[in-house]
Amino acid sequence: MNKSNLIETTDRTFEIDVLERSQTVPVVIDFWADWCQPCRALAPLLEQMAEEFAGDVAVVKANTDHCQQAATEFSVSGIPAIFGVVEGAIVDGLQGVVSEEVLRVFFRRMVSAGEFVAAKRTEDSNPAAALATYQKMLAEDPENVPAKIGLGRASLAAGDVSTATQVLDDLESRGFLEPEAEQLKSRLSLAAALPTGDLGEMEAQLAADPNNPELKIEVARMQAAAGNFQTALDLALAVVESTQGDRRDPARLLMIDIFRTLPDDSPLTGEYRRKLASALY
């Protein structure tokens, strides 16, 4: 066994060894102790998995005698305790001694979680690659809802509104939508309202007629559909600030659609909600 595939951590290095590392590769943490017989029984299997999945999953050993703070933060109540971490968040876990097959399935889930995160990051820059990942995940599990939502987003990024709409229809048939599915619905709404024409040409027209609110809204819609949300929000906000009554409604509604499209924790949402409220009231 190549011991370099295992990382020994302490409270002092835990953030780097686990949380920072999990931004680029899935991390499996094993909370254990020298005096724990079940931990010692599980150790050879973990070493085997660390070697088998080297490069796809990082395995970190956290001796609870040296990682008391980390064990508290992870609510470890008994050992061995295994957690899977992706992008700093716990996504899976196991408790106690498990069989080789159970542990291997756990590691495969972690590989899949890493592939999902990588696909999500590239949906706009490389939608074809993201689509391939989501299609692979759905072939393995047709009811994988996060992969379905990802398929819809990547399809929309690739310009395939039809497939994205089919995905949303399938999700809506259950009678509810997850927050990320609601965001997909909002992005589809933006795409459906997309004006015809070339963005570059529309921007040139706006440069020649900068005080035209209708033209400004058209450009804002195109920017939003292209994923340039801050630019779209700035344009829509300018219309709200410069018009009155019903003429400002299209800009206000466009901003609300963009808020629904953005992640809940997006700083743009809070910033531009405040700006919109200030402009309206």
Look up 36 and say whether it is catalytic.
yes
Q: What is the pLDDT of residue 108?
A: 94
Look up 67 and say whether it is catalytic.
no
User: Which residues contact residue 177 at a Cβ distance below 8 angstroms, ignoring those fewer than 6 apart?
Assistant: 171, 185
Q: Pairing between strand 58-63 and 89-95?
A: unpaired
Q: What is the pLDDT of residue 78?
A: 94
- Which one of 27, 39, 86, 235 is the catalytic residue? 39
HSE at residue 206, side-chain half, CA atoms within 13 A, is 17
Model confidence pLDDT, tens digit, residues 207-262: 999 999 999 999 999 888 878 899 999 999 999 999 998 889 999 999 998 998 88
Q: What is the pLDDT of residue 22?
A: 94
Which parts of the chain have pLDDT scores under 50? 1-2
- Which one of 33, 36, 191, 226 is the catalytic residue? 36
Structural domains for the chain: 3-109 (3.40.30.10), 122-192 (1.25.40), 199-280 (1.25.40.10)
